[in-house]
Amino acid sequence: MKLQSAIQFASAAVALAALIVIGPSAIAADSIDPAADAKAFQKYFTDKFPRLELKDFVNGPYSMNEDMRRQWQEKEEFPPYEFSLEAGKEMFSTPFRNGKTYADCFPNGGIGIRQDYPYFDGKEGKVVTLELALNRCREANGEAPISYVKDDMAALTAYMAFTSRGKPFDIKIPNDPRALEAFEDGKRYFYTRRGQLNFSCASCHVQNPGERIRAEILAPALGILNAMPIYRSEWGGMGTISRRFVTCNIQTRGVPLEPQSDEYRNLEYYLSYVSNGLPISGPGARP
């Protein structure tokens, strides 16, 4: 009996010791640590493409091989987004009916601030994207909101991105459990398989960047939003981040969510944060 008790005691002690050793790392695996996530995310891509400079990831598929890069350099001589950029500049400076402009709604008059969006609004307890802020600006000034997926929104964000070109993404996650949960929710959305084709965002943009899906070369997730909005030859026009998310969902045969739904806002927060340090290159052009 004494022997049995001794064995039981020893087993319990071993189990307790194992819990002490394993416990913290198991908890850490489930805790929300955006900085560690961003570090691991960037390392994954720089390990996968060791010849690519970090800043080059913002060029998406054009960074993936020499032919594509040459195509991009030639496109940039007469960029297809130029008309949108001009339209955006004009819209941005045209006063609303009350005499105010978009500049009145943003820090620094809206110039050179793209890299700070999206941000977490502590008052609202939610993520605010640039597209959302632009429509809120319109509504606050008595104007009707514009479509998140059409040309006007693309033009406005193209102009604002252009004024931030070269500035590194600087997304902040405040020490607020709601902000951390928003980041985690965005990550969950990014990795969750959906649609009849059972694809997650990561299926294409983490597991297969540089590979072809039909005629297209898949872009890496790292830096994927830095070039937004983009002119896509496939679309025959400009597209916002909202349009990108919606079409990605449809391509997997999933019903897209409403543009600027909480999930999409959080996804943008996650994807932007893990690309912190990479320069804004928008507006961009893609095949």
Partner 1 sequence: MSVFQNKVSVLALSSALLIAALSPAQAASEVDFKTAYAAAEAANKEAGRLRDQWTTTQAALDAANKAADAGNFDQAVASAKEAEALARASILQATSEKDAWKALEIR
| C-alpha torsion angle, residues 80, 227, 248, 178 (rounded to 10) | -150
User: Can you tell me which of 191, 212, 213, 277 binds partner 1, judged by CB under 8 A?
Assistant: 191
- Contacts with partner 1, 240-269, as mask; x by CB under 8 A: ----------x--xxx-x-----x------
Identity of the residue, 28 or 213, whose beta carbon is nearer to partner 1 in the bound complex: 28
> Alpha-carbon distance 153 to 130, whole Å?
10
* Residue 112 CB coordination number (10 Å): 17
Question: What is the total count of residues that contact partner 1 (CB under 8 A)?
Answer: 25
DSSP letter (8 states) at residue 108: G
Question: Using the rule CB under 8 A, is 32 a contact of partner 1?
Answer: no
Confirm if 148 and 131 have CB atoms less than 8 A apart.
Answer: yes
The stretch among 49-57, 80-88, 136-144, 194-202 that binds partner 1 (CB under 8 A) is 194-202
> Alpha-carbon distance 41 to 275, whole Å?
8
CB of 195 to partner 1, least distance (A): 6
Question: Using the rule CB under 8 A, is 195 a contact of partner 1?
Answer: yes
User: Can you tell me which of 101, 113, 119, 187 binds partner 1, judged by CB under 8 A?
Assistant: 187
248 a catalytic residue: yes
- Beta pairing, strands 230-232 & 284-286: parallel
User: Can you tell me which of 64, 156, 173, 206 binds partner 1, judged by CB under 8 A?
Assistant: 206
Question: Using the rule CB under 8 A, is 188 a contact of partner 1?
Answer: yes
Identity of the residue, 29 or 144, whose beta carbon is nearer to partner 1 in the bound complex: 29
Q: Could you give the 3-state DSSP secondary structure of residue 81?
A: coil
**For the stretch 206-232, what's the b/e string if a residue is b when 16 or more beta carbons lie within 10 angstroms of its beta carbon?**
beebbeeeeeebbbbbbbbbbbbbbbb
**Which residues are catalytic, by number?**
248
Residues lying near partner 1 in the complex (CB under 8 A) are found at 29, 37, 40-41, 44, 187-188, 191-196, 198, 200, 202-203, 206-207, 250, 253-255, 257, 263
